[in-house]
Amino acid sequence: MTPPKPRITKPHLKWRLNRAKTAWVPYHRKTWTEGGKAKERMIALKWEGDPKTLDELYWACESGRHEKQQAPEKHTWRECIEAWRADPKGQGKLSASTKRSYSRAMDRIMAKNGAKAMTRTTPKLLYAAHVAMSSTPREADRMLQTVSILWNYAKGQKFWPLGDNPASHIKHFGKQREFEPWPSWMVEKLDTAPENVQTAAQIILGTGQRPGAAIKMRWSDFDGEWMTVVDEKSNKEMVVFCPPKLRAYISGLSKRGRHLLAKDLITPLSYDAVEKPFRAWRKDLGPKAKAFTLHGLRKLAIVELAEAGATDAEIQAITGQSPEMVAYYRQHASRKRLSRAGQIRRDQNENGT
C-alpha cells in the first residue's frame, strides 16, 4: 500500500516515491534554460521524517549553501597527501619508521581537513591546533613538520599557487625529556586498566618493542618459547625468546582476528585506539601518573633486564634499543641496585651483623 504523500509544500520542493514505493522522498528542484535547452537539478533532502530538518535543508538549497551545490575545492590537503605518497621524490630518503610517523600525521590531517583547500590553513589556525595538542608535544611537533613537508612539496614540486608556509614561524615544543620507566605501583594497577590497554602493556613490557609495533603483533608471531618482533626503525624482523610471563598472559586471551589487538579479522587496532583509553585510565590514577607513557614500559623492560643481570648486548638483542639508550636506562637499574645494597649493609652494620 502506497503511503500518504506529505502535505508540506514550498516553491521548488517536489515529492517522489522511492523505488520500493514505501516512502516519499523530498527533492529541491531548480529548472532553467541554457542554450535553448531546458535544464534541471534535483537534490534529495535527507530529512528522515523530521519537518525541522527538512526546513533547514530546503533553505540551505534556496540560499545555495547545500553541500551538493558547492564546487569542490582545489589544491586540497587530500590531493597533496595522495600525490606525496605516490611520488618517490616526495618521500626522498626518509627511513621506513619516519615515513610511518608522517603517515599517521597525514591520516589525521586527511580525516579533519582532507577536503579543504590548503590555502585555508592560516598560521593562526595552525598555532591553535598545535597548542591544542600540547598534552602530546611530540605529536604536536610532528604535525607541524608534516604540514611543512606537504606545503613545500605542493608549492615546490606540484607548483600550486600557495603563499608562505603557515608552519614556518611557529615555535616547536622541542625535544622532550626521555621517557620515564613505570614505577612498580603503576604496573600493579594494570589489572584496573581497559583490556586492550592491559594487553598492549603486557606485550610492550614482555617484548621491549615500541608501542606501535607491539600493538600490531599477530598470533603467528608467537611460536612456543620464541617470538618474532620488528625493529620499527630498521623494519627488520628478529626472533627472540618469549618470557614465560608473556606466554602465560597470551594463552589466556581470546582470538578475535589475525592480531592480538584486533580491530577486525585482518586489521590491528590503531595506536590511537589504545593510547586514548590509556590516557583516560592514567588520569584516573591521579596526578602522579601523568608523567608516564606507554613508551615508558619499554624503558622499564630495559631496567628490569639490567636488574636481572642481562648484558648490554643481551638487552639490545631483546629490545632493539641503541647502545646509548641501553646505557641511559641501565643507570636506573644500577642506581636502584647500588642503593639497595648500600642500605642493606648499613642495616647490617647498625645491627652488628
| Model pLDDT for residues 210-238, shown as the tens digit of each residue | 888 899 999 999 999 999 987 655 567 88
Are 45 and 26 contacting, i.e. CB atoms less than 8 angstroms apart? yes
Shortest CA distance to 310 belongs to which of 229, 241, 245, 228? 241
Q: Look up the pTM and report it.
A: 0.52
Strand partners, 43: 28
Say how far apart CA 277 and CA 285 lie, in whole Å.
13
Say how far apart CA 264 and CA 258 lie, in whole Å.
8
Q: Which three cell numbers stand for residue 116?
A: 579543504
Q: Residue 240: helix, strand or coil by DSSP?
A: strand
Shortest CA distance to 266 belongs to which of 213, 223, 218, 221? 218
> What pLDDT, on a 0 to 100 scale, did the predictor assign at position 233?
57
Q: How far are the Cα atoms of 109, 150, 162 from residue 78, in angstroms, in the given order?
A: 8, 10, 15
145-150 long-range contacts, Cβ below 8 Å, gap at least 24? 145/102, 145/105, 146/102, 146/105, 146/106, 146/109, 147/109, 147/121, 149/84, 149/102, 150/77, 150/80, 150/81, 150/84, 150/106, 150/109, 150/118
Contacting residues for 141 by C-beta, under 8 A, at least 6 apart: 172, 173, 174
Helix ranges (DSSP H) in 38-87: 51-62, 77-86
- Mean pLDDT (whole number) for 145-155: 95
Taking the alpha carbons of 339, 340, 344, 350 in that order, is the dihedral positive or negative? positive
Whether the per-residue pLDDT at 135 is higher than 70: the answer is: no
- Mean pLDDT (whole number) for 115-121: 93
Residue % of the chain over a pLDDT of 70: 90
